[in-house]
Structure 1
Amino acid sequence: MNLRHRIARTALIAALLLSSVPAAAENVLLTLTGAVTDGRVELTRADFDAMDWHEFATSTSVTDHQPEFRGVLMRDILAHAGAEGSQVRAAALNDYVVDIPIEDFYQFDVLAALYMDGVPLTPRDKGPVWIVYPRDDHGVLADIRYDMRWVWQLVALHVQ
């Protein structure tokens, strides 16, 4: 099969897959599975808006300045989902996966950030959801172990 046929075939498969996705799925920003209410909780922007919002400025390992982040505390998301477990497996759009101890979310005010410097995060800019630690508030957070837990383009949490 030549390159042109492969591209056409890939485009057809993508179109078929996208056409089978319900319209409501487009509004889901974050899906929680595992030890959560009914085994699956899908959070939309309206769900995020119904929770308390927080903000802080902190340095990151991937920005040149100290951005202001705004979002919902990760522990509030877990409470909303009825999560019970000791860790979450966080998964991103780019297939990055990392296990994060749930204890982090209670020890620190970790955000599920939807805004950086007042601008909504998009998949192009590490969004729509980015796990952000208050790095400058706690010296221990300036460690690579925590840097690995800053999941951008977050789409799913599996509670274990």
Structure 2
Amino acid sequence: MKTWRNCLAILTLLGATAPAIAADNVILTIDQESAQHHFTLQQLAALPQTTITTATPWTTGQHRYQGVAIDTLLQRLNLSPQVLKVHALNDFWARVPTSVARQYRAILATHVDGQPMSRRNKGPLWVIFPLSEHPELNQEKYHNYMVWQVRTIKAE
């Protein structure tokens, strides 16, 4: 009986710590010439958050996206690159002009409609532009900037 209680205690302990361990995993690396900056979901969440409510070509209706503004992240790292080469988990990448990301206040979304974004729903990070607020962005050129399942960003 004591062995059963010990096993239950261990399983309970592991279950209680599993989310903390997963939350500590690096989900974003920002590469610059001289350094790499690694971020966990918790570290990104600790930065000032921004929301964008918009429709996208890949979703039905409008959704509320929350995350850190790309401009905020660059300011925190004291970076001012011309271009951000954004890489996804599936090796897709796009070169996003920093001026465009700043002008339209693009974000690295971590949540959609109040829920954390999973890989299945384009997470854990998705570059979101406010397409509904700025109809001029609703074209393929800008759609390509909206990389989902972001893993790394190279500051060029």
Per the shorter chain, which TM-score range? 0.7 to 0.9
Which residue does the alignment assign to 1:49?
45
State how far apart, in whole Å, the 2-side matches of 1:43 and 1:71 are. Answer: 13
**5+ long unaligned stretches in structure 1:** 1-22
Identity of aligned residues (%): 27
Q: How many residues align?
A: 136
Larger radius of gyration: 2
**5+ long unaligned stretches in structure 2:** 1-20
- Which one of the candidate residues 77, 100, 107 is aligned to 2:103? 107
Report Cα offsets for 1:63-115 as digits up to 9, x if no partner. Answer: 11111111110111112222231001100001101101000122011110011
Moved over 3 A (4+): 23-26
Which residue does the alignment assign to 2:128?
132
Cα pair 1:32 1:81 within 8 Å, conserved: no
Which residue does the alignment assign to 2:87?
91
Give secondary structure in 1 for the equivalent of 2:147. Answer: coil
User: What's the CA shift for 1:56?
Assistant: 2.2
User: What's the CA shift for 1:49?
Assistant: 2.1
- Which one of the candidate residues 137, 154, 158 is aligned to 2:150? 154
Give secondary structure in 2 for the equivalent of 1:136. Answer: coil
Task: Give the TM-score of the pair, scaled to structure 1.
Answer: 0.79
User: What's the CA shift for 1:148?
Assistant: 0.4
Which residue does the alignment assign to 1:81?
77
Give secondary structure in 1 for the equivalent of 2:81. Answer: coil
Report Cα offsets for 1:90-141 as digits up to 9, x if no partner. Answer: 0000110110100012201111001111111011110000000011111211
Cα pair 2:24 2:41 within 8 Å, conserved: no
